[in-house]
Amino acid sequence: MNRDFQTLTVATPQPHVMLVTLNRPDAANAMNTQMGLDLVHCFEDLNLDPGDVRCVVVTGAGDKAFCAGGDLKERRGMTDEAWQRQHLIFERMVRAIMGCPTPIIAAVNGAAYAGGLEIALACDFIYASETARFALTEVTLGIMPGAGGTQTLARAIGERRAKEIILTGRPFGVEDAHRWGMVNHVLPAADVLPQALATAGTIAANAPISVRQAKQSIGRGADMSVWDGLAFEIEAYNRMVPTEDRREGILAFNEKRKPQFKGR
């Protein structure tokens, strides 16, 4: 996959783990049109051909912001048509992230506002700095969350609390985000990325087909009845039975050694 982007840096800090950094620190990593395009291409390419990538970590450049949301300076004076064309890119972006079969961890190193919070919510789970702040401020600007926020936030913390956050536009802190279940771990700023990468490494060491199928079963099942979810789960489970990795996992357990999974 292409790893050369104008607004992102893409690295492989350890085997099978891809680190994607939103890289516009002078603009608090705000999303402009180019960043939207870069994220679409990055994650759609990953969806089509993950290669040896088994887990992804997304973070922001610098120590102040994960992503401040849409770049309002770029949006100043936009025509309605241009605004809608740009927003279509952001819609495709969040769908590419949410639809990615590879697990994605958000390492939120600072402010995650508006579209920035929506990017974090599109990931599978969030590790956040003690200094992180969150908000969906769109209603204070005459719009509303449109990159998944009305759906992903409610699923993360419940409908009533999501309504309060979205309808007021008020920021909230990392301790509340953790207490409500939106953030998995709150960490000192210097530890956020290393801990996210460590967890990514643990995930990447597991059987990749198993990880992808489990992720899909959880995500799809959450929108089904428990009975339909159980049926979906067993179909996902049966995908692993004829794999080399399933045989390797059992063999390694019995031989008291670490399994060498190949994704086959």
pTM of the shown model:
0.93
Residue range 207-254, CATH number: 1.10.12.10
Residue range 8-204, CATH number: 3.90.226.10
Instruction: List, as one string, the DSSP characters of 23-68.
Output: --GGGTT-B-HHHHHHHHHHHHHHHH--TT--EEEEEESSSSEEE-
pLDDT tens for the chain, 264 residues long, are 677 899 999 999 999 999 999 999 999 999 999 999 999 999 999 999 999 999 999 999 998 999 999 888 888 888 999 989 999 999 999 999 999 999 999 999 999 999 999 999 999 999 999 999 999 999 999 999 999 999 999 999 999 999 999 999 999 999 999 999 999 999 999 999 999 999 999 999 999 999 999 999 999 988 899 999 999 999 998 998 999 899 989 899 999 989 999 988
pLDDT at 72: 87
Q: Considering the chain, tell me which residue range(s) the CATH 3.90.226.10 domain(s) occupy.
A: 8-204
pLDDT at 85: 93
Burial tier of 112 (Cβ tally within 10 Å: 0-12, 13-18, 19+):
buried
Q: Considering the chain, tell me which residue range(s) the CATH 1.10.12.10 domain(s) occupy.
A: 207-254
Q: Which residues participate in catalysis according to the annotation?
A: 118, 138
pLDDT at 74: 86
pLDDT at 1: 66
pLDDT at 31: 94
pLDDT at 4: 85
pLDDT at 2: 72
